[in-house]
Structure 1
């Protein structure tokens, strides 16, 4: 929606009306988090169509430190609204006690990371951050009369709900909790001497979107996948190796790019909740994986502190491959791809981080690597040009997902074959493939979904 409104602001036919609507909406917000969401729209707006700083800043009715961070990201250093230091309710009275609803839902309406950050601050300083968060929440509830809503079960079919299916939903309480979080930070700066830069760092946990990822366009499901993932489900008594080899060949094409990571939702005609993952590994010649281990030791993350704090563009730090080695029952291996985790990340795209933005680890390349976001996906640049790319598609997407699963997003990561060969030679390793097929099914109409996994490994 942010991208679509950004496009309206740039439209020849609708820009004037769109700007009027935007400014009116911005000026009437009752929550700090809503103002932040409105400013995030500008991350998706062409610079030539951007409303002036003065016009936007004038309409901000609920200032926050995060709003100022976004204003500077869009309009340049020093372009801030200010006044956020007083955007709080004062210190909580000694007699105040947090409501049970607040405590029960503080890690469900918003991600648990906010509670963790508040708890960490309380431990570090000895100051009542959690109580202040509850107090700010209470005052916002009084001022806005927001509904005390629980989990939105009405969006999930009753049978699926009983089966343990979850969903990604955002309700009004999300705004209450996030705004109270920002107001707590403002109070801490004003009354407890918290440095503003420290508050800004914590505030980024409520950033909706980061530049670059904001403009990603999901692609169509690749035609070369055909029905091979579904054939994998139906080949219960046969090895998956032949099917996966044909999948890798089909995806390699003529441009010298080869799939090294695949995460594919299974057709809903076969299984409503199911996926196939294919992962390339750099392995020693004697490697034997422990396939009986239920954990996924090769599913590793790559935290990436954004160079400018808000844009998914820039250099990746070099990592040694030894940091990612996994010892098998014999030999050792490391994943070719790591799941990129930008810091901050932007909670509007949580489903992408849930499935994983898998990019070749820096140790795959001999030179420096940079990330570049394009409309069609994410590219890794090394040397003279693009050496790897990541694409995502929505496969009959819904906000529902099974326990320990993800929503119906599919991804493919491709890597230049020359880079694969050079990595094998440099690390004196060969290529192997780890395949995992997950199907969630219930034994009865009303029973809980049970995960059945099948894993195979083979050398390239």
Structure 2
């Protein structure tokens, strides 16, 4: 077995992190000159053609997508991958459109599913019992929504497609789900062969709904993206190092937890020295883990525009929730995180809390693909500047070091993240060992503050996670701090 075959075997490894590294390595080999590139591309295309499952064949196409993002000129000619591919799907069509645009051939959707189940077909007990174990529950939620809207028996079709695929030699067994000896709440993000059976059956069911004329192709493609393991744009962004200013408190020595008090002091000093630390930039948002001895903390910083009409201070819990609830959207590619931020009205995300008016300075923007291979980014989320900060439309694109944000052609901000010991294992109610920061040029926030007669301020949330014994779930406690707020009524 040569190196290429080893990497291809790793594409279907249970570990999502191993799969991602294998795809990157295959793309790197395809970017080489001469026979290495040719041999690697031919071997991968042959491997794609040998796959019996739609979601497995997609993994080979993903490697070509990585190549296209780095070296588009080294892609094989349009139609070659399509010719080798035997298991077409809505998602393979989406990825081939990313690779070749209008040159991608649309499959015959009637050939992308198994037809109708017989009248006496019954849902297998195993399928129903474990469909939310081998796949995240979101797959079932999507199909239930399709079933409710179209009145098509989507779960029956999903089970039927699953049965057809299982008959190819995949033994239904839940034994792989029993890891044994795990602490409460500990999860592993892995994909087993049966996961791919469920996922491929999901894609086939969507294609069936399209051929029934009850589910628009565009909607079906949107739902098929759930099976894509990585956002192709975010994949380009390499995690950076943790910022040197990120708090590093000293572990508590006694029974009293002194870390929150230390963090309060560190954040106060950071606010006071922000111009010295951040130079010409303003920190709009940050979120990340702080590991201190045996205890885990999560710090969230949100910048907001604040104005007062009286002496009663706003409720920090309410303010933080308002900042976390602020959502944005973008217009851009379907499987590649890049595009133009859609306009947001200030009234859509503003809050009045007692005598304070609050306007979050940033919003969560969700990629169209949940990056299963980089799950920490999906769970913690991505924030970008609110569109009203700029006089022109804001756009963004992914580069190797960050997500870069532009006003017109001028770069005005960056989003960067870092990891700190990410593995396939994580605990349900603990934050992932990951963090990110969002900056914009200070002159944007200064100008908006002037025009809106408000002050830029921070709200900081420190979450503490604690348990007495290993067999217990973690308990969560939160404290809040405000920096830069005012109770003075500013002139309008």
Question: Shared topology, TM-score over 0.5?
Answer: yes
Are 1:229 and 1:276, in contact at CA under 8 Å, matched by a contact in 2? Answer: no
Distance 1:373 1:280 in 2: 23
TM-score by length of 2: 0.84
Distance 2:30 2:205 in 1: 33
The CA deviation at 1:252 is 5.8
TM-score by length of 1: 0.89
Q: Deviation per CA, 1:313-365: give whole Å up to 9, x if none.
A: 22111101111123324322122121110234444333212111111111222
| Distance 1:124-1:429 versus aligned 2 partners, 3 A rule | same
Are 2:248 and 2:290, in contact at CA under 8 Å, matched by a contact in 1? Answer: no
Report how many aligned residue pairs link the two structures.
454
The counterpart of 2:267, out of the listed 244, 259, 265, is 244
The CA deviation at 1:256 is 0.6
The CA deviation at 1:211 is 3.2
The counterpart of 1:4, out of the listed 12, 25, 28, is 25
With 94-103 and 416-425 compared, the bigger mean Cα shift is at 94-103
Task: Name the structure 2 match of 1:31.
Answer: 53
* 1:445 maps to 2:473: no
Are 2:430 and 2:474, in contact at CA under 8 Å, matched by a contact in 1? Answer: no
Distance 2:205 2:360 in 1: 41
* 1:353 maps to 2:383: no
| Distance 1:369-1:113 versus aligned 2 partners, 3 A rule | same
Q: Deviation per CA, 1:23-61: give whole Å up to 9, x if none.
A: 232122121011222212222111122122333222212
| Distance 1:238-1:116 versus aligned 2 partners, 3 A rule | closer
Q: Deviation per CA, 1:272-308: give whole Å up to 9, x if none.
A: x432222212112357332466983321353535423
The counterpart of 2:298, out of the listed 269, 275, 278, is 275
Distance 2:430 2:227 in 1: 24
* 1:263 maps to 2:287: yes
Are 2:49 and 2:84, in contact at CA under 8 Å, matched by a contact in 1? Answer: yes
Task: Name the structure 1 match of 2:424.
Answer: 399
Distance 1:382 1:61 in 2: 44
The CA deviation at 1:128 is 0.9
The counterpart of 1:74, out of the listed 74, 79, 99, is 99
| Distance 1:292-1:318 versus aligned 2 partners, 3 A rule | closer
Task: Name the structure 1 match of 2:89.
Answer: 64
Does the residue aligned with 1:204 lie in a helix, a strand or coil? helix
With 174-183 and 278-287 compared, the bigger mean Cα shift is at 278-287
Are 2:109 and 2:208, in contact at CA under 8 Å, matched by a contact in 1? Answer: no
* 1:196 maps to 2:209: no
Distance 1:142 1:268 in 2: 51
| Distance 1:237-1:336 versus aligned 2 partners, 3 A rule | closer
Are 1:257 and 1:414, in contact at CA under 8 Å, matched by a contact in 2? Answer: yes
Distance 2:318 2:176 in 1: 34
Task: Name the structure 1 match of 2:15.
Answer: none
| Distance 1:230-1:29 versus aligned 2 partners, 3 A rule | farther
With 292-301 and 104-113 compared, the bigger mean Cα shift is at 292-301
Distance 1:252 1:168 in 2: 41
Structure 1: runs of 5 or more not aligned: none
Task: Name the structure 1 match of 2:11.
Answer: none
Does the residue aligned with 1:170 lie in a helix, a strand or coil? coil
The CA deviation at 1:140 is 1.2
Task: Name the structure 1 match of 2:196.
Answer: 175
Distance 1:84 1:166 in 2: 36
Distance 1:362 1:59 in 2: 44
* 1:149 maps to 2:185: no
Does the residue aligned with 2:347 lie in a helix, a strand or coil? helix
* 1:309 maps to 2:330: no
Does the residue aligned with 2:134 lie in a helix, a strand or coil? coil
Task: Name the structure 2 match of 1:116.
Answer: 141
Distance 1:240 1:346 in 2: 31
Are 1:225 and 1:247, in contact at CA under 8 Å, matched by a contact in 2? Answer: no
The CA deviation at 1:369 is 0.5
Are 1:256 and 1:417, in contact at CA under 8 Å, matched by a contact in 2? Answer: yes
Task: Name the structure 1 match of 2:413.
Answer: 388
Structure 2: runs of 5 or more not aligned: 1-20, 486-492
Task: Name the structure 2 match of 1:284.
Answer: 307
The CA deviation at 1:250 is 6.2
